[in-house]
Amino acid sequence: MSPMTRNVLRALTTVFTTVLAITVLTHIMVYYQNKDKDGEIQGFDEAFFFIAVSSITGLSSDIEPDTWFTRGIVLFVMFIGIFWLPPRVSEMLSLWQDRSPWPAAFEAEANQSHVLVIGDLEYTMLFEFLREFFCEDHGIRTVNTVVVVMSERSPGKEVAELLSDPAYVNRVKFVLGSPTSFKQLGDVDASGAQAIFLLSSKAAGTNAAKEDAAKVMIALAVRKYLKGHGNPCRSVPIFAQVLLPETTLHLEYLADHVICVEELRLGLLAKSVMVPGFASLLQLLTASIPDNTTQPLIKVAGRYKQEWLAEYAQSMSHEIYSTRVSPMFNGVRFQKAAQVIFQRTGATLFAIRVPDRNEDAADSGDGRIMLNPSNYELQGDELGFVLASNSLVSTQVAFLAEESVVSLNPQQQQQQSPQRSAFLNLQPIVILSPAEPSPSQLDDLARFGSVYVVSGSPLSRTDLARVRIHRASCGIVLANREEALSAAADVANKLSLAGSDTTATATADAPALLSVLNIEALTWANPDFFLSVEFIHRENMQFVGDSETIRINEVYAQAFLRPSFMSGRVYTPVMLDTLICQAYYNEYVLEIMQRLIFSHGNVVHALGLAKLNEAGVDAAAMVDGDVPDGDVRDGHVFLVEVPARFHGRSYSSLFSYCCFNHAAVPIGLYRAVTHHRQPLWYVMPNPAPACVLREDDRVYLIASTRPSLQ
């Protein structure tokens, strides 16, 4: 029984017992008075009616107030009704109004599965999570699955409206409870869940450390609950989302998959200026865009005779799928296998997961993901990762029939050069910020070299000129997250669960947008300057560049058709909310994304180990044994111009040339088209083999070193 129910029952019991006690006393006294006078004996019901009704309303009753006792009772009851009863009734009504309409438990129906989502969720985060989770591209797994949202606070107005949406009313259930209570975890059947998601509030602002500490505590509570109450023959994966990179170290053994919002956010922004369009390319590959979204776009583009938009819409549907590689490739080099698979299925094999073949390995599930490993021969026990339009295409990779593979192996001319140290930086980086970095932050920046911090604001053109923005090769504008999210947090604390999330963040991108206008005004004479912008609110992407390429009614798809997104110049952290959901369907997508962004290693772990070494702790034993064997080397992402001799030829010919001559695997194109009399760049993940290459095309490659295509 809830505390609210107990309080209401206590108030009702107090009123009822008081009236009952007065009735009993009145009945006894009237009984003896009438008995002495040989009058009519009144029953208990008449006495109760007299006390509860007649003494207040004046309605006729068999008991008349004609004696000093009955008149005194009437006055006493009136006194109670005026001074004592109203506060009690008010208390009951107040408790009833404050009651929670949300249940405190969840019970799955027969043959129904569920996943548990824990956290104080903003509207945008929950909407993106549910849209991705129930996307039809994930097949029948979602047909009979319920998402149970558990939080210690009641949802706000917008979140409540989302939960009552006809599309989710029977598929999403909200439970009010504490995830650190074993009893309440049992009430939502946490041990029977298919997966448990721990999502962090983006409105934490300056309280990010407290938010992460709470997530660590919840992860510890959930892990201990599953250990003591779960089925030993069945494991429940835990997906955790944290804000600070340092927190990932605490969750390595508490959660199965950990996403650090700040680490991926800043890493992706940095990668997007080194490899233009990379942020949009990665978002398209990690988001589920069903055919019922892309096919209408292709038809509309055909109706308006915009072939470039049709090929972009066609490439939007490509995602990352895992599959076993056909036994026909046993003993074959990775690049050779990738070329054959692309020629025969149109899918691009760009990475593999190599299991730990050490007989002394403690966990047979241990392994390492490698991007286009050079000098690696497939052995048949690897798990391949391909770019494909649907899961059926990826399945074909596992069942390719035996054909001549050796004949497809021209002489390889691999070009190799020494890899740079993770902390070696030869590119000058200037940070323009109104806030002074802390001494510890300055210490960390000094480890990389050629990093300069200038006090100033991008809202001032004078400050931008001081840092020579007009001579820079690229720039990054970060959203003003601290002020915006702190303001959203204040609103969330008042309205609960960020009830006004969309209105709180709609204008939060104003400083970033003004910074963009200032930078564009100072760099207009530099056509090679590339600017990457972060927006908190996805709708604000329309204010950068042209508003639309084509207008459609689908709000979700419209965001992918904005020129600023197509060219990879804008980024919104909302993709991280869909990424954690993708990890539920594709177990290794998080690690693949981290490999693509941080191809030189985990900077946070490396920096932490360096600090431990300086403090006198031997960190060598703490290093993960994630090192390639022999001369096998991991790949990195590069954007390279397509050689002139391939203009007018098919994409498959370029694919074969890159695989055999440079040990590089192409994963997409970055091409330009004239739109509204201006050049518009857009990304194309995994083009079709017959796609004709054009002048100015650039190709995304995964290779161990930057290739020089000729």
Same domain, 167 and 250: yes
Domain that holds residue 554: 436-579
Which of 97, 131, 149 represents a domain boundary (last residue)? Answer: 97
For residues 678-703, give the mean pLDDT: 92
> Residue 143: beta bridge partners?
none
* In the predicted structure, residue 331 carries a pLDDT above the cut 70: yes
Total-model pTM:
0.77
Q: Is 454 left (phi over 0), alpha (psi -120 to 50) or beta?
A: beta
Residue 495 lies in a domain: yes
Residues 89 and 141 occupy one common structural domain: no
Q: Could you give the CA distance from residue 178 to residue 201 in angstroms, rounded to a whole number? A: 16
Q: Which pLDDT tens digit goes with each residue over 294-305?
A: 888 888 888 878
DSSP 329: G
Check whether residue 452 and residue 555 sit in a common domain.
yes
Q: In what order do the strands lie in the sheet with 238-242?
A: 172-176, 145-151, 113-118, 196-198, 238-242, 257-260
Nearest Cα to 344, choosing from 404, 286, 410, 409? Answer: 404
Residue 46 lies in a domain: yes
Kindly report the three-state secondary structure assignment for every residue of 157-174: HHHHHHHCCCCCCCCEEE
pLDDT of residue 431: 92
Query: Above 50 in pLDDT, residue 56?
Result: yes
Which pLDDT score is estimated for 419?
35
356 Cβ neighbours under 8 A, 6+ residues apart: 363, 364, 366, 367, 368
More confident residue, 260 or 492: 260
What's the confidence (pLDDT) of residue 155? 85
**Greatest alpha-carbon span in the chain:** 126
- Name the 3-class secondary structure at 488: helix
Instruction: Tell me: pLDDT of 88 over 80.
Output: no
Regarding whether 81 and 123 lie in a shared domain, the answer is no
Closest CA to 454 of 440, 468, 470: 468
Which DSSP string corresponds to 622-668? GS------TT-B--EEEEEEPPGGGTTSBHHHHHHHHHHHH--EEEE
What is the domain-level CATH number for residue 219? 3.40.50.720
Encoded tokens for 709: 């295509």
Strand partners, 198: 118, 240
Assigned token pair, 335: 């690049």
The residue-averaged pLDDT of 484-505 equals: 48
Residue where one domain finishes, among candidates 255, 274, 297: 255
DSSP character at residue 507: T
Give the mean pLDDT of 223-231.
87
Amino acid in the structure at residue 512: A
107 in a structural domain: no
Q: What is the pLDDT of residue 131?
A: 87
Number of compact structural domains in the chain: 3
Average pLDDT over residues 526-538: 86
Per-residue model confidence as pLDDT tens digits over 622-677: 555 454 455 567 789 999 999 999 999 999 999 999 999 999 999 999 999 887 77
pLDDT value of residue 43 = 67
Q: How far is 302 from 79, CA to CA, in rounded Å?
A: 83
Residue 182 in any domain: the answer is yes
Q: Using CA atoms, how far apart are residues 322 and 461, in angstroms rounded to an integer?
A: 48
Supply 231's token pair: 């089925």
Domain finish residue from 546, 579, 612: 579
Helix (H, G, I), strand (E, B) or coil at 71: helix
Do 531 and 474 touch, CB atoms closer than 8 A? Answer: yes
User: What digits encode the pLDDT tens for the residues 547-583?
Assistant: 666 776 666 667 788 888 888 888 887 777 788 888 8
pLDDT of residue 408: 41
In tens, the pLDDT along 612-623 reads: 677 766 655 555
- CA-derived radius of gyration, the chain: 33
Same-domain pairing of 443 and 571: yes
Contact 651, 664 (CB under 8 A): no
Same domain for 131 and 66: no
Residues 6+ apart with CB under 8 A from 378: 325, 329, 330, 331, 332, 333, 334, 337, 352
Based on the fold, state whether residues 523 and 499 are members of the same structural domain: yes
308 occurs within a structural domain: no
Give me the residue label for tokens 């006294």. 29
Mean pLDDT of 478-497: 56
Query: Taking residues 428-437, what's their average pLDDT?
Result: 88
Give me the sign of the Cα torsion angle 507, 509, 512, 513: negative
Locate 535 and state its tokens. 């927006």
By the 10 Å C-beta count (0-12 exposed, 13-18 middle, 19+ buried), 167 is classed as exposed
pLDDT band with cut points at 50, 70 and 90 for residue 223: very high
The closest of 603, 599, 669 to 636, measured between CA atoms, is 599
The answer on 150 and 91 residing in a single domain is: no
Q: 62 and 140 in one domain?
A: no
703 three-state secondary structure: strand
Residue 490: pLDDT band by 50, 70, 90 thresholds? low
Q: pLDDT at residue 172 above 80?
A: yes
pLDDT band, very low/low/confident/very high, at 136 (cuts 50, 70, 90) = confident
State pLDDT tens for residues 72-84. 777 777 777 667 7
Residue 223 lies in a domain: yes
Average pLDDT, the chain: 80
544 falls within a domain = yes
> Distance between CA atoms of 238 and 218, rounded to whole angstroms?
11
Cα 500 to chain centroid distance, Å, stands at 19
Among 41-50, 96-105, 431-440, 445-454, which stretch is predicted with the lowest mean pLDDT? 41-50
185 vs 24, residue with greater confidence: 185
- What is the rounded average pLDDT of the residues 91-104? 69
Residues 93 and 120 in one domain: no
**pLDDT recorded at residue 690:** 92
What residues have CB less than 8 Å from 53, skipping those under 6 apart? 59, 61
- The answer to whether residues 143 and 58 belong to one domain is no
Residue 596 in contact with residue 387, Cβ under 8 Å? no
pLDDT for position 420: 37
Least-confidence region, from 273-287, 326-340, 415-429: 415-429
Is the pLDDT confidence value at 7 over 50?
Answer: yes
The mean pLDDT of 237-262, rounded to a whole number, is 87
Residue 410 pLDDT greater than 50, yes or no = no
Residue 116 confidence (pLDDT) above 50: yes
225 shares a domain with 179: yes
Between 38 and 161, whose confidence is greater? 161
pLDDT value at position 221? 94
Residue 496: pLDDT above 60?
no
pLDDT of residue 462 exceeding 90, the answer is yes
pLDDT for 360 equals 57
Residue 492 lies in a domain: yes
